[in-house]
Amino acid sequence: MATVRTGLLMAGLTGLFAVLGLMLAGEAGAIAALLLAAAMNLFTWWNSDRMVLSMHGAEEVDGRTAPELVAMVRDLADRAGLPMPRVYLLASDQPNAFATGRNPQNAAVAVTRGLLRALPRTEVAGVIAHELAHVRNRDTLVMSVTATFAGAISLLANFALIFRAGDSRQNPLGLVGTLAMMVLAPLAAMLVQMAISRTREYEADRIGAEICGQPLWLAAALERIDGLSRRIDNVAAERHPASAHMFIVNPLHAFAHDRLFATHPATASRVAALRKMASGAPRRTTPGPWA
């Protein structure tokens, strides 16, 4: 199912790419954009995780450089029935985290230094379990591909607006059509992100709570991250807002346009669902050694 979703997503974004190419240089531009999109499809399928990690200046760590974090990820991955993912640290002071990778065998979990400083070990475990749930659900490929393609579409739209908005000779839609496409294409890409993100976050919360064994750990983590992220900038995320949907909580807040990238459900709604889960049926797993 994840492969089908990713294929449909890439096809839709390729179509947007082609239309923007038409805006830039007519039929020749559309053909060039299709060829570029085909190359991007292949490249992002295999390298989107590296691209996203590079965007955020991620530093890989191991049992020697971050023993407690790596041990926690390994234990939670075992509980989730997953291979051990690569582990990365992000320099940001904002507490946050994301997962990436085209499949569980090539997955990576990245957490900010701010997360490790601000959250107790139980809540860090809840966050990592949430990210491992994305890996197990194979959300990470869709998330990474969407981030790279949406960013490329926004960039191409900006080029089209600058260089072709007033040139009606090679542009069959004219000035009005060009301006409309420059606005609608990036918004369409963002709507795809939103449709993916809002449903997958609830499911990752549920499975993550089962992996760590304590829904309230994740609920507390979400509340703490949400409160702190509103006051602490994530410079890398602001520089690459198309990747915002990958984080456990929306990292954007510094600029007015950031609300266009609000791809996450309300934190209060997610916390309420986790609390309901905690008060309902008995947990399937026992808590790990992080309390």
- Domain boundaries defined on the chain: 2-279
pLDDT band at 28 (very low <50, low <70, confident <90, very high): low
Catalytic residue positions, numbered: 131
Measured from the Cβ of residue 82, the count of other Cβ atoms closer than 10 Å reads 18
How far apart, in whole angstroms, are the C-alpha atoms of residue 283 and residue 129?
A: 15
Closest to 68 (Cα-Cα) out of 87, 49, 50: 87
Query: Residue 247 forms beta bridges with which residues?
Result: 98
User: Could you tell me which residue, 191 or 80, shows the higher pLDDT?
Assistant: 80
pLDDT tens, residue by residue, 145-156: 666 666 666 666
How far apart, in whole angstroms, are the C-alpha atoms of residue 143 and residue 266?
A: 19
pLDDT tens, residue by residue, 3-22: 565 566 667 666 766 666 66
Question: Of 24-33, 67-76, 172-181, which one has max mean pLDDT?
Answer: 67-76
User: Do residues 104 and 83 touch, judged by C-beta distance below 8 A?
Assistant: yes
**Secondary structure of the chain in HEC code, one letter for each residue:** CHHHHHHHHHHHHHHHHHHHHHHHHHHHHHHHHHHHHHHHHHHHHHHHHHHHHHHCCCEEECCCCCHHHHHHHHHHHHHHCCCCCEEEEECCCCCCEEEECCCHHHCEEEEEHHHHHHCCHHHHHHHHHHHHHHHHCCHHHHHHHHHHHHHHHHHHHHHHHHHHCCCCCCCCCHHHHHHHHHHHHHHHHHHHHHHHHHHHHHHHHHHHHHHHCCHHHHHHHHHHHHHHHCCCCCHHHHHCHHHHHHECCCCCCCCHHHHHHCCCCCHHHHHHHHHHHHHCCCCCCCCCCCC
* For range 94-114, the mean pLDDT: 94
pLDDT tens, residue by residue, 270-282: 999 999 999 875 5
Q: pTM score, two decimals? A: 0.76
